[in-house]
Amino acid sequence: MATDRDSVLEAAVGVLSRRPTAHLDEIARAAGISRATLHRLFPGRDALIGEVGMLALRRLAAALDASGVDEGDAHAALRRLIDAIVPDAMLCAYLTGESQLYDDEAVNDLWEAQMARLHALFLRGQQQGVFRIELSAAWLSEAFFDLLAGIGWAVQDGRLAPRDATFSLAELFLGGALRAPRPH
């Protein structure tokens, strides 16, 4: 049973990621609480979805902080970021997939702030000569997030072993993003 808000939000992601239009009954059941308690924790459906988005963005921001992407070697920072964020890949997948989140101003602001950090990381990496300059930093940012979301789905659906997640993401993305020949 999940009584605290974050536990409920994680349960909500598990349901909403698969069926974005799932009834609140179903979400409440998945969280092990009643619909009444769900309403006591979150005023309504919109609030719940918004809070899920904010949770995902807090996790993303925490991963960006923990991996120190804002300065230093871009290649190493990106590898640290991959290690840090892959456990929350499914949250990020929901973040990109749920277009309803774009209506939430608070979510949007925090989202753009984190994407700006990611964009800056790739731009710095290009200036450092480690990332390819034929591909725009904006595209690298977006593609990274797309693959991260893909990792989340593949793991959740059992098509990819959790053990292989970070490796698969890092090797595929860095293979296409790094300027230097692949180090072997």
Residues that bind a second copy (CB under 8 A): 18-21, 97, 99-100, 132, 134-136, 138-140, 142-143, 145-147, 149-150, 153-154, 159-160, 164, 167-168, 171-178, 181-182
Q: By rule CB under 7 A, what count of residues binds DNA?
A: 17
Closest CA to 88 of 6, 19, 31: 6
Buried b (16+ CB within 10 A) or exposed e, 34-69: eeebbeebbeeeeebbbbbbbbbbebbeebbeebeb
Smallest distance from DNA to CB 1, Å: 6
Beta carbons of 165 and 89 less than 8 angstroms apart: yes
Distance of CA 56 to the CA centre of its chain: 6
| Cα 179 to Cα 151: distance, rounded to the nearest angstrom | 23
Closer to a second copy by CB, 99 or 105: give it. 99
Per CB under 7 A, which region of 23-31, 70-78, 97-105, 159-167 contacts DNA?
A: 23-31
Interface pick for DNA out of 5, 19, 20, 34 (rule CB under 7 A): 34
Smallest distance from a second copy to CB 157, Å: 9
| Cα 96 to Cα 133: distance, rounded to the nearest angstrom | 25
Closer to a second copy by CB, 110 or 151: give it. 151
DSSP lists the bridge partners of residue 131 as 178
Smallest distance from DNA to CB 123, Å: 41
Q: Does 99 bind DNA (CB under 7 A)?
A: no
- Give one DSSP letter per residue of 119-182, joined into a string: HHHHHHHHHHTSB-SSS-HHHHHHHHHHHHHHHHHHHHTTSS-HHHHHHHHHHHHHHHHBSSPP
Smallest distance from a second copy to CB 150, Å: 4
Task: Please choose which of a second copy, DNA, none residue 135 contacts, taking the beta carbon within 5 to 8 angstroms, the exact cut-off set by kind.
Answer: a second copy
Closer to DNA by CB, 34 or 128: give it. 34
Q: Which stretches of the chain bind DNA, using CB under 7 A? A: 1, 3, 23-25, 32-37, 39-40, 43-46
